[in-house]
């Protein structure tokens, strides 16, 4: 996490996110715009975007004839999109953990409009019994949680920044996961084409 968009390849992440938006027919600024939504709407839309990115990546990796199967499949079920994407190497372990956390948030928002209206990412995180584990998962473990980062000219740790700005971090990580899925899907499509040409 940094306040400079080109550090750590963030510019590449944004490019891949934009390419995926084009590929699934969403407007270019969609990912940025959902951050401005109320927290419940932010979570629902971000989760829907991750679902679409999973379908896109799996379809690219395995072929268009399977798209309808992936569309009907749940994300977290067994077998589900996440299970397939993990088995095919489309996601890093930290991304899988992120999607599971986002799924829990989404479930909290989706079960009754009364829950959704007052939903806050910060409140949700603070009320979780396994909050420390969630922070560790989203920071890639103890070393990631303790890593010192510069945000707005101030030093802090990734863990502290996540606890203080969970919605922003969920937004950033969501963009990174979408970019990772796009890249994995494109690589899978190239590998399928190469195999086809060699046959």
Instruction: Let me know if residue 140 belongs to a domain.
Output: yes
CA dihedral over 169, 43, 134, 86, signed as positive or negative: negative
Alpha carbons 17 and 12: distance in angstroms, whole number: 9
Look up residue 59 and give its two tokens. 């379809």
Instruction: Let me know if residue 109 belongs to a domain.
Output: yes
Instruction: Let me know if residue 14 belongs to a domain.
Output: yes
Instruction: Let me know if residue 38 belongs to a domain.
Output: yes
Look up residue 86 and give its two tokens. 């993990």
Instruction: Let me know if residue 80 belongs to a domain.
Output: yes
The candidate with the shortest Cα–Cα distance to 99, out of 161, 159, 173, 165, is: 173
The candidate with the shortest Cα–Cα distance to 50, out of 96, 117, 3, is: 96
Instruction: Let me know if residue 156 belongs to a domain.
Output: yes
Q: Which range of residues forms the domain containing residue 112?
A: 7-194
User: Burial level of 89, CB count in 10 A (0-12/13-18/19+)?
Assistant: exposed
Alpha carbons 23 and 38: distance in angstroms, whole number: 26
Instruction: Let me know if residue 170 belongs to a domain.
Output: yes
pLDDT tens digit at each of 199 positions of the chain: 334 344 445 677 788 888 888 888 888 788 888 899 899 999 999 999 999 999 999 999 998 898 898 999 888 888 899 999 999 999 999 999 999 999 999 999 887 676 667 899 999 999 999 999 999 999 998 999 999 998 888 999 999 999 999 999 999 999 999 999 999 999 988 888 887 788 7
Q: What is the pTM of this model?
A: 0.85
Instruction: Let me know if residue 199 belongs to a domain.
Output: no
Query: Total domain count for the chain?
Result: 1
């Amino acid at each position: 996490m940094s306040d400079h968009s080109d550090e750590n390849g963030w510019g590449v992440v944004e490019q891949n996110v934009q390419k995926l938006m084009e590929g699934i027919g969403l407007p270019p600024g969609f990912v940025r715009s959902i951050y401005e939504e109320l927290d419940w709407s932010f979570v629902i839309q971000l989760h829907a975007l991750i679902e679409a990115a999973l379908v896109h990546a799996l379809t690219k990796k395995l072929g268009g004839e399977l798209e309808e199967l992936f569309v009907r499949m749940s994300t977290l079920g067994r077998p589900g999109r996440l299970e397939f994407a993990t088995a095919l190497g489309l996601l890093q372990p930290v991304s899988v953990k992120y999607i599971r956390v986002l799924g829990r948030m989404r479930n909290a928002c989706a079960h009754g409009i009364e829950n959704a209206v007052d939903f806050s990412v910060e409140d949700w995180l603070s009320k979780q019994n396994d909050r420390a584990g969630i922070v560790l998962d989203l920071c890639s473990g103890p070393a990631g949680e303790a890593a010192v980062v510069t945000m707005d000219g101030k030093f802090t740790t990734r863990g502290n920044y996540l606890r203080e700005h969970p919605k922003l971090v969920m937004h950033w990580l969501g963009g990174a996961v979408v970019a990772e899925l796009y890249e994995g899907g494109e690589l899978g499509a190239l590998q399928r084409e190469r195999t086809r040409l060699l046959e």
